[in-house]
A and B are shown apart, each in its own frame.
Chain A
Amino acid sequence: MTYLHLCFYSAFTLSCLGLAFHRTHLISALLCLESMMLSMYVALAMWPIHMQAPSATLLPIIMLTFSACEAGTGLALLVASTRTHGSDLLHNFNLLRC
């Protein structure tokens, strides 16, 4: 594995772990999702460099577009739940708890 592949791979893994173990706030989980998107963007941008294939440069741009959509939707969920529960603390989201 090259050093740069290791860099974005471990950044992605750390962000996945942060998403799995998010503790207090909902927005911490959304920030970990954004960090995963960032590492995927850098990974997809490195592919056309190594393969010398210019047409694959399209992939990180398209991924960023849909990542923006997802970030907007996540923040809308955050705002909606803050309006309902008063904060985005995760221990307040207990509707589905049996």
Chain B
Amino acid sequence: MMEFVLFLGLCFILGGLAVASNPSPYYGVVGLVVAAVAGCGWLVSLGVSFVSLVLVMVYLGGMLVVFVYSVSLAAEPYPEAWGDWGVVGYAFGMGLVVVVGLVVSGVSGLSVDVGTVNSGGLLSVRTDFSGVAMLYSEGVGLLLIGGWGLLLTLFVVLELVRGLSRGAIRAV
């Protein structure tokens, strides 16, 4: 059962390959969802379940949902599919670049490190909870900067999409 994390790592790479060689944004989003789910399982296998939950809720349940309905802007009636030869060529070429990079850099063997934190979650003090809880005690400056950045992003987005006669991007 300790080898499940290796399979999840492989799924993560395949999801990244699917996003990079996507025939159409619809299939790219599927690859991103697969990679995000594999990443969550990977982090849970390593013991940090809080960080994995944050990834699921904020990234998969927040940002990817927004991406999915923004992909509807890119709707085309006849999207390419995975079986088209151009897409297979792109996927193969990108995989080949990674393999050639590994060979050239001289990665001879891969070691597998084992171990989880907190004895599998049975201790009363959990590493990831106590680490993120420092956001409210010693890291309060980061909390305020993050909150300020998010508020600023809201106004940036509102300004970008205002359009009409005073928008930020116009054709001419």
Name A residues whose Cβ lies closer than 8 Å to a Cβ of B.
1-4, 6-8, 10-15, 17-18, 21, 25-28, 30-32, 34-35, 38-39, 41-42, 45-46, 48-50, 52-58, 60-62, 64-69, 71-73, 75-85, 87-88, 95
Name B residues whose Cβ lies closer than 8 Å to a Cβ of A.
5-6, 9-10, 12-13, 15-17, 19-22, 24-25, 28-29, 31-32, 35-36, 39, 42-43, 46-48, 50-51, 54-55, 58-59, 62-64, 66-67, 70-71, 73-74, 90, 94-95, 97-98, 101-102, 107, 110-113, 116-117, 127-128, 130-132, 134-135, 138-139, 142, 146, 149-150, 152-154, 156-157, 160-161, 163, 167-171
Q: Which of A2, A17, A25, A31 touches B94 (beta carbons < 8 Å)?
A: A17
State in angstroms the CA–CA spacing of A55 and B167 once bound together: 43
Q: A6-B9, A7-B42, A45-B51 are in contact. List 5 more A-B contacts (CB 8 A).
A: A39-B12, A41-B55, A52-B127, A55-B134, A73-B160
Q: Is the interface of B mostly helix, strand, loop or mixed?
A: helix
B157 near A73: Cβ-Cβ < 8 Å:
yes
Sort A-B residue pairs by CB-CB distance and give the 10 closest, nearest first.
Answer: A18-B20, A57-B131, A11-B16, A7-B9, A54-B131, A76-B160, A69-B153, A76-B157, A35-B19, A14-B16
A14 near B13: Cβ-Cβ < 8 Å:
yes
In the bound complex, residues from chain A placing their C-beta under 8 Å from that of B67 are: 27, 30-31, 34, 71, 75
A75 near B43: Cβ-Cβ < 8 Å:
no
B5 near A4: Cβ-Cβ < 8 Å:
yes
B13 near A42: Cβ-Cβ < 8 Å:
no
A27 near B73: Cβ-Cβ < 8 Å:
yes
B48 near A3: Cβ-Cβ < 8 Å:
no
B12 near A7: Cβ-Cβ < 8 Å:
yes
Known: A25-B74, A27-B73, A72-B153. A80 touches B167 (CB 8 A): yes
Q: Which of A3, A14, A30 touches B112 (beta carbons < 8 Å)?
A: A3
